[in-house]
Structure 1
Amino acid sequence: MRIFVTGASGFVGGAATSALGLAGHVVRAMSRAPKSDPSIAARGATPVRCDLETVTGEHIGDAEAVIHCAAFVEQWGPRDAWKRFNVDGTARMLAAARQAGVKRFIHIGTEAALFHGQHLRGVDETYPLALNSPYPYSATKAQAEKLLRDANAPGFETIVLRPRFIWGPGDTTLLPVIETMAREGKFAWINDGAAQTSTTHIANLVHAIELALTKGRPGEAYFILDDGVRSMREMIAGMAASRGIALPDKSIPGWVADAVGATCETLWSVLPLSGAPPLTRFSAMIMSRDAILKDDKARAEMGYRPVISVEDGMRAL
């Protein structure tokens, strides 16, 4: 199949690009700058110079499917960044894909699109999107997902895959942050790391992406998960141990983390402070709320089953 991928320089898009190339697909990938070309080419894809603000049907070419992994996932940034990339960028990708005659558009969503500060327990895909979430990432990913599902039409099928807590080899987000915080003595658990969470190993997500090329009901969203539920402490401590890092027992209550995150955001918004705040409202929330999700729908409609267990994934880190 001819496939166009966004976010191929990132964790998810990079892993998907490599796997699709190995499976014999012809892959072209969005490349925002020349420095990204070598890594994209090394994954077996052809770099295409464009970004989420300039992409057109000509860039997508004769692709039969699009896999849209690119997103603004930072905890802090310019006030309009989340909307510009996650909502407007997705709308532009949809328009370009339609212009190019793409048949299926696979969007990498997130369980964060449901969060407005609450726990998620026993949640499936019928749970409402948090379109007006106070967290910019959650709100804009919810709005992007709505665009996807509304865009579904005969001849232009859309599918949303929702992983939670993506982890595994090649992680460019969570594990590097944990390593840095531990090294600088800034790491602390929230509520002793007791929050319960579903997780998604990168190999399981890539497997679901491959399935979604031909399976799944158009216009639908699917949670893609590892087997079972674990505590934040079990997952993060296990990941850190793979790097020889023993995390401290220091912990703060969730309500304190929420307050500190809000205070930090206020200070960084009104004062000329450099860099990102040490804690944001979103990061405090996402690490302290349960996210216990159900993937029955993906199993029934896509034939999804995890290809790697959490235990085997931890051993392989």
Structure 2
Amino acid sequence: MENKWDVNKPKPRLFLTGGSGYVGRNLVRHFIAKDFEVVALARSERSLQIVKALGAVPFAGDLLDAGLVEGMKGCQTLINAAADTDHGRGTAQQSHTNLEGTRKLFQSALTAGISRAVHISTESVLLDGGPLINATEDHPFPHRPAGSYSHTKGEAERIARSFSTQGLAVVVVRPRFIWGRDDTKGLPQIAAAAKAGKLAWIEGGHYLSSTTHIANVCEGVSLALDKGRSGEVYFVTDGAPIPFRSFITSMLETQGIVAPTKSVPRWIMRGTATIGDFLDELSGGRIKPLISRQVLATIGFEVTLDTTKARDQLGYHPVITMDEGMSELKSHAWGGNRQST
């Protein structure tokens, strides 16, 4: 994103939610490198320390706090990277955070006089438990979303976009399967499952998947903030899709972990997810499913996206290739995941 402010003027000020999370941490680094002052919302003392160490100005609070307007004073822009991303049983807390939290955040931004905002969404808003092939941004929301995460993120996206008719320019960015450096959730979980012998390919795992390296997420968000059209949605990915099995195998190899060879038929996993979700709901969350319907929809089918709109309207192009991203992961492999091959 080109910095349009004169050097004699104050730094552009950005308000960021989810700053201590995986995406948020990288957005803090990205925009500070572009000479922004980043004010990062943080709920806990640990989160406050994380964003402060990254160079952001910490603001203690929550998406639902009435005091957000105070933290947004002097900010011209907003990026919402916060969400309850749980892929299991839907909870009232997830709905409250993703729906009411989004509504209160954008209302606060409107009150504070912020002019532009990016809401980070996900391709999961379109998932219904089947393949999603070469989807464009106008693909309809499903009648029956794959799970609570898909449902609440879809509703959050609608809420965020509704503010574009109220004087706040809101742009939505949808990455798919975020990966890369500084990943403290996805890759560690996959690596732990592989090492424990609990990872198996669904139907062989050879179906295609779009992916988005964290550097490409930051690039897409930056361009959307600068050039995105208010009320519009943009997919951002690494480019051409890759077989899911090849992608996960390559990631595991960067950590010195041998990928599994066993495969499970998709119909068995469908049944397992259906029963697991039922027991999870029946037990109030005490019985955790082996795999949820939401997780199965995310990793068990082809999910590929068309990024033509982002390329044409934003000038988006990946800033890091798959090979470069894998090399970066290999050079930052953590000792806990290393094993001989």
Report the alpha carbon displacement of residue 154 of structure 1 after superposing the two structures with TM.
6.5
Partner of 2:99: 87
Q: Match for 1:24: what amino acid?
A: D
Q: Does residue 1:46 correspond to 2:68, yes or no?
A: no
- Give the match's secondary structure for 2:149: helix
Q: Do the aligned residues in 2 keep the contact of 1:196 with 1:230 (CA within 8 Å)?
A: yes
User: Of residues 212, 218, 225 in structure 2, which corresponds to 1:206?
Assistant: 218
Separation in 1, partners of 2:73, 2:99: 22
Counterpart-to-counterpart distance in 2, 1:269 and 1:288: 22
Q: Distance in 1 between matches of 2:55 and 2:288?
A: 35
Residue 146 of structure 1 is matched in structure 2 by: 158
TM-score, structure 2 length as denominator?
A: 0.89
Distance 1:273 1:291, change over 3 A: closer
In structure 1, the residue matched to 2:282 is 270
Structure 2 residue aligned with 1:241: 253
Residue of structure 1 in register with 2:17 after alignment: 6
Shift of 1:78: 5.7
SS at match of 2:134: strand
1:73-104 CA-to-partner distances (Å, cap 9, x unmatched) read: 11225621321111111111111111111101
| Residue 15 of structure 1: aligned partner | 26
TM-score, normalised to structure 1, is 0.95
1:292 aligns to 2:304 (yes or no)? yes
Amino acid at match of 2:322: V
User: CA–CA distance in 2 between the matches of 1:29 and 1:100?
Assistant: 16
Q: 1:273 to 1:74 in 2, by over 3 A?
A: closer
Number of equivalent positions? 317
Assess if the C-alpha contact under 8 Å between 1:131 and 1:139 holds in 2: no
SS in 2 for 1:162: strand
Deviation at 1:273, TM superposition (A): 6.6
Asked if the contact 1:189–1:251 (Cα under 8 Å) also holds between the matched residues in 2, the reply is yes
**1:23–1:174 CA distance, 2 compared to 1 (3 A):** same
Report the equivalent of 1:70.
Answer: 82
- Is 1:35 the counterpart of 2:57? The answer is no
Query: Which segment drifts farther, 261-270 or 162-171?
Result: 261-270
Task: Tell me the secondary structure at the aligned position of residue 227 of structure 2.
Answer: coil
Secondary structure of the 2:29 match is helix
* Identity over aligned pairs, percent: 34
String of CA shifts for 1:33-91, please: whole Å, max 9, x gaps: 11112210121101101112215311222211110001111122562132111111111
Q: Secondary structure at the residue paired with 1:20?
A: helix
Instruction: Name the CA distance, whole Å, in 2 between partners of 1:151 and 1:28.
Output: 21
SS in 2 for 1:27: strand
1:221 matched to 2:230? The reply is no
Q: Is contact 2:88-2:294 (8 Å) kept?
A: no
Deviations 1:245-281 (A, max 9, x none): 1121111111111111121222233337747432111
State whether residues 130 and 138 of structure 1, in contact with CA within 8 Å, keep that contact through their aligned partners in structure 2.
Answer: no
Task: Report the residue type matching 2:202 in the other structure.
Answer: I
Runs of 4+ with >4 A deviation: 272-275
Tell me the C-alpha RMSD between the 2 structures.
1.6
Which one of the candidate residues 157, 169, 184 is aligned to 1:157?
A: 169
CA distance in 2, matches of 1:196, 1:102: 39
1:125 aligned onto 2:137 = yes
1-structure distance, mates of 2:284, 2:129: 28
Q: Distance in 2 between matches of 1:279 and 1:159?
A: 33
Counterpart pick for 1:115 among 120, 124, 127: 127
SS at match of 1:106: strand
- Is the Cα contact below 8 Å between 2:87 and 2:147 reproduced in 1? no
- CA deviation map 1:170-205 (0-9, x unaligned): 112221111121222211111111221111110011
Residue 195 of structure 1 pairs with residue 239 of structure 2:
no
**Cα deviation digits, residues 261-316 of structure 1 (max 9, x gap):** 12122223333774743211111121111111111111111111110111111111
Distance of aligned partners of 1:258 and 1:16 in 2 relative to their CA distance in 1, 3 Å threshold: same
The question of whether the paired residues in 2 share the 8 Å contact of 1:4 and 1:28 is answered with yes
